[in-house]
């Protein structure tokens, strides 16, 4: 008979099932805490845990309400809608701020400065082209043909001065060639558009119902009628077209230089000092004749010591039209333009006329404009980034670029250059003795240029810095009735003044600074990076009452969300890969009869048996107590 275990060891082995489960759970939690302490990077196990932690610990206002009110679904829904609506409104404001920033607005700064001013360059032209000796015979022939044309069209007998019509054989050939080309481009009348169905020379058509112009044709005899509503404009344009062809035939432009400064400018004075030839440069304009530019030398420019009429430029100029070409210019006087140094004088754009017998006083006020380049405006510093070659020997201006663009297109399309603009390299001026259809090409190209088909107005950008002069003029009679006798007498003694019509032969021009103050128009960025950050911070504080660290918390939430998504996706992908390995293949044999029953080749099965200790009751407590117990023990 076996001996029962001692009561003490039986009590020690007794353990309730619930206590054992609790102990195992505590051991698992302790092991999990140890694993968490050992981890370098901690990730949340679910999205719910991530957002709950964020809403409970973030410094963004209102986020805690999403957690505190989770037992009340109505409040949770309300605060969720309010929270995300606030986010949407804030980022809508952010979009407005970013759009304003990337539009690059500017502030206009007006500054009034006071200092001694550099006097600008002044260009003065005779306003009438001169009848140069190199082309005198051809111009006389052109006048003769024009006389006959006006007689045929308008029954006008234009008086021609007496000329020496004795010509050499070469000049006669040149005259016949000129007549041939003029006959190819005749001046004609054309009915207006609403009368185009009427027959020619209809008696019901009045002279006022005609348009006048000239015909231009190309090599394929494709012609069009360059018409004008005014006969004066048509005659001047037709005469100018043939005049330019005559000028282009002169091989050397210096042959036209017949400048006579002293016969045009009788008196020149600047800042109470007399001017000399070192203070001006001369150039020839096809329509405005001889032109003189004062103070164009950048090495020794004039400086005004004081404002006022006595401290500027004063000129007495001759305005007599002797031996000029009346069909090119219909006005008398002189043309003046004020411009900056190292800039060409475009007399058509910025010039104005000086009347004979009048003293014209022009007061100036300097104005400087400085634009921001880069993203703030489409301006250029020096024109190097403009896709147009500068044909002028001067610095970049918008008008320089536009004219260069037209001239380059003229050379490319028509094969020759227009006489009014500088000559590009390896090109020649248009002349209908060499380029028969250049007139047709020119007027077609001019129409495209004005309609901006050539793109010159888009290619040529404004300079970032430019200087302009605001002008205001005053007029008075000069000389006066009581002083004209002695003034004209002094001019006749000193300047060989022998004009019969005294008052229509001279004019006086005064150009001076009105004051020393000059205005500077500058630009500054209206929305800088500092302003953008300040506005973004204001919007963030308005809607959420938080700071930059709150933005970092939001960025951390986004990164954690991405990391959890990646981890969960990786786990799902791994579980999908392990699932086919756990399922037995379809072709496996389940019948035990086909199994290998050799015990030596089969691995023994292993079973895990959990020992369950059951405490047996103590039967000694049922026996009577007494001495016989010892006997039994001894017997045992």
Nearest to 143 by CA among 156, 158, 153: 158
Identify the bridge partners of residue 168 per DSSP, sorted by sequence position.
Answer: none
**Alpha-carbon span 317 to 505, nearest angstrom:** 9
Task: Dump pLDDT digits (tens) for 293-314.
Answer: 998 876 688 888 788 888 899 9
pLDDT of 268 higher than 80: yes
Q: 484: exposed, middle or buried (C-beta count within 10 Å: 0-12, 13-18, 19+)?
A: middle
Please tell me the predicted confidence (pLDDT) of residue 53: 80
Backbone φ, ψ for residue 157 (5° rounding): -95, 95
Report the predicted TM-score, pTM, of the whole model to 2 decimal places: 0.70
pLDDT of 633 higher than 60: no
* Four-residue CA torsion sign, 159, 165, 171, 175: positive
Task: Dump pLDDT digits (tens) for 544-559.
Answer: 777 778 778 888 888 8
**Alpha-carbon span 369 to 466, nearest angstrom:** 5
**Alpha-carbon span 215 to 183, nearest angstrom:** 10
Please tell me the predicted confidence (pLDDT) of residue 210: 67
Question: What 3-state DSSP class applies to 320?
Answer: coil
Pairing of strands 517-525, 358-370: parallel
Peptide bond before residue 479 is cis, with ω within 30 degrees of 0: yes
CA atoms within 13 A on the CB side of 369: 11
Please tell me the predicted confidence (pLDDT) of residue 165: 44
Question: What 3-state DSSP class applies to 188?
Answer: strand
pLDDT of 243 higher than 50: yes
Average pLDDT over residues 185-203: 54
pLDDT band, very low/low/confident/very high, at 163 (cuts 50, 70, 90):
low
DSSP assignment letter at 372: -
Average pLDDT over residues 515-532: 90
pLDDT of 465 higher than 70: yes
pLDDT band, very low/low/confident/very high, at 594 (cuts 50, 70, 90):
very low
pLDDT of 173 higher than 70: no
Mean of the per-residue pLDDT values of the chain: 77
Backbone φ, ψ for residue 308 (5° rounding): 120, 165
User: Are 471 and 338 in contact, with CB atoms under 8 Å apart?
Assistant: yes
Identify which has the larger pLDDT, 193 or 339: 339
Average pLDDT over residues 350-357: 86
**Could you give the C-alpha distances from 305 to 302, 315, 337, 373, 608, in angstroms and in order?**
9, 19, 22, 34, 115
**Alpha-carbon span 598 to 613, nearest angstrom:** 37
Task: Dump pLDDT digits (tens) for 277-287.
Answer: 778 888 888 88
Task: Dump pLDDT digits (tens) for 78-123.
Answer: 888 888 898 889 889 999 999 999 999 999 998 988 888 889 999 9
Rg of the chain taking only CA atoms, in angstroms = 52
Task: Dump pLDDT digits (tens) for 356-381.
Answer: 889 999 999 999 999 998 888 889 99
Backbone φ, ψ for residue 498 (5° rounding): -135, 35
**Alpha-carbon span 608 to 426, nearest angstrom:** 104
Identify the bridge partners of residue 509 per DSSP, sorted by sequence position.
Answer: 315, 360
Question: What DSSP string runs through 208-233?
Answer: GGEEEEEEEE-TT--EEEEEES-HHH
pLDDT band, very low/low/confident/very high, at 192 (cuts 50, 70, 90):
low
User: Are 53 and 44 in contact, with CB atoms under 8 Å apart?
Assistant: yes
Question: What 3-state DSSP class applies to 150?
Answer: helix
The separation between the first and the last C-alpha atoms of the chain, rounded to the nearest angstrom, is: 8
Please tell me the predicted confidence (pLDDT) of residue 198: 40
pLDDT of 438 higher than 80: yes
Please tell me the predicted confidence (pLDDT) of residue 226: 79
Please tell me the predicted confidence (pLDDT) of residue 189: 72
Other beta carbons within 10 Å of 39: 8
**Alpha-carbon span 119 to 296, nearest angstrom:** 10
Q: Which residues are within 8 A (CB) of 613 and not within 5 positions of it... i.e. 6 or more apart?
A: 13
Flag the least confident range among 73-77, 366-370, 471-475: 73-77
């Amino acid at each position: 008979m076996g001996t029962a275990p001692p009561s003490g060891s039986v009590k020690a082995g007794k353990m309730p099932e619930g206590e054992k489960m609790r102990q195992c759970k505590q051991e698992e939690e302790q092991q999990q805490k140890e694993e968490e302490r050992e981890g370098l990077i901690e990730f949340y196990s679910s999205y719910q845990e991530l957002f709950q932690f964020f809403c409970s610990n973030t410094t963004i206002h209102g986020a805690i309400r999403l957690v505190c009110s989770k037992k009340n679904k109505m409040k949770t829904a309300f605060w969720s809608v309010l929270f995300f609506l606030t986010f949407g409104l804030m980022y809508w404001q952010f979009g407005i701020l970013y759009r304003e920033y990337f539009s690059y607005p500017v502030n206009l700064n007006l500054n009034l400065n006071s200092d001694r001013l550099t006097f600008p360059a002044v260009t003065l032209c005779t306003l009438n082209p001169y009848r140069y000796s190199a082309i005198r015979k051809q111009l006389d022939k052109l006048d003769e043909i024009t006389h006959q044309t006006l007689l045929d069209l308008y029954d006008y007998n234009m008086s021609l001065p007496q000329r020496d019509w004795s010509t050499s054989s070469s000049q006669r050939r040149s005259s016949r060639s000129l007549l041939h080309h003029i006959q190819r481009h005749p001046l004609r009348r054309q009915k207006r558009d609403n009368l185009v169905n009427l027959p020619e020379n209809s008696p019901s058509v009045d002279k006022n119902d005609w348009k006048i112009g000239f015909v231009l044709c190309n090599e394929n005899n494709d012609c069009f009628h360059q018409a004008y509503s005014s006969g004066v404009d048509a005659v001047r344009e037709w005469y100018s077209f043939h005049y330019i062809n005559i000028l282009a035939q002169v091989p050397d432009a210096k042959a036209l230089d017949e400048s006579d400064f002293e016969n045009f400018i009788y008196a020149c004075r600047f800042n109470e000092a007399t001017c000399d030839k070192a203070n001006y440069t001369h150039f020839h304009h096809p329509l405005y004749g001889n032109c003189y530019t004062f103070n164009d030398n950048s090495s020794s420019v004039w400086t005004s010591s004081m404002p006022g009429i006595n401290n500027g430029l004063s000129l007495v100029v001759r305005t007599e039209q002797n031996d000029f070409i009346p069909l090119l210019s219909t006005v008398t006087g002189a043309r003046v333009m004020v411009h900056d140094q190292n800039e060409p004088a475009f007399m058509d754009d910025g010039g104005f006329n000086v009347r004979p017998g009048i003293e014209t006083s022009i007061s100036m006020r300097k104005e400087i404009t400085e634009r921001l380049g880069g993203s703030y405006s489409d301006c250029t510093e020096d024109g190097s980034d403009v896709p147009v070659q500068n044909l002028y020997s001067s610095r970049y201006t918008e008008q320089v670029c536009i004219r260069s663009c037209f001239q380059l297109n003229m050379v490319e399309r028509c094969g020759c250059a227009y006489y009014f603009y500088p000559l590009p390299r390896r090109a020649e001026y248009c002349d209908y003795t060499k380029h028969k259809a250049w007139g047709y090409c020119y007027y077609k190209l001019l129409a495209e240029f004005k309609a901006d088909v050539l793109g010159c107005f888009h290619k040529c950008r404004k300079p970032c810095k430019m200087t302009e002069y605001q002008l205001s003029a005053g007029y008075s009679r000069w000389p006066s009735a009581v002083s004209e006798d002695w003034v004209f007498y002094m001019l006749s003694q000193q300047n060989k003044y022998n004009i019969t019509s005294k008052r229509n032969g001279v004019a006086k021009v005064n150009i001076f600074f009105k004051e020393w103050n000059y205005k500077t128009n500058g630009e500054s960025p209206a929305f800088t990076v500092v302003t953008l950050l300040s506005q973004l911070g204001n919007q963030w504080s308005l809607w959420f009452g938080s700071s930059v660290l709150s933005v970092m918390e939001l960025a951390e939430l986004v990164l954690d969300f991405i990391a959890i998504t990646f981890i969960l996706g990786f786990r799902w992908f791994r579980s999908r890969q392990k699932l086919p390995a756990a399922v037995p293949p379809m072709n496996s044999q389940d019948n035990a009869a086909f199994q290998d029953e050799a015990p030596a080749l089969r691995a023994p099965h292993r079973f895990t048996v959990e020992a369950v200790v059951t405490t047996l009751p103590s039967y000694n407590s049922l026996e009577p107590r007494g001495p016989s117990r010892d006997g039994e023990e001894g017997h045992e």
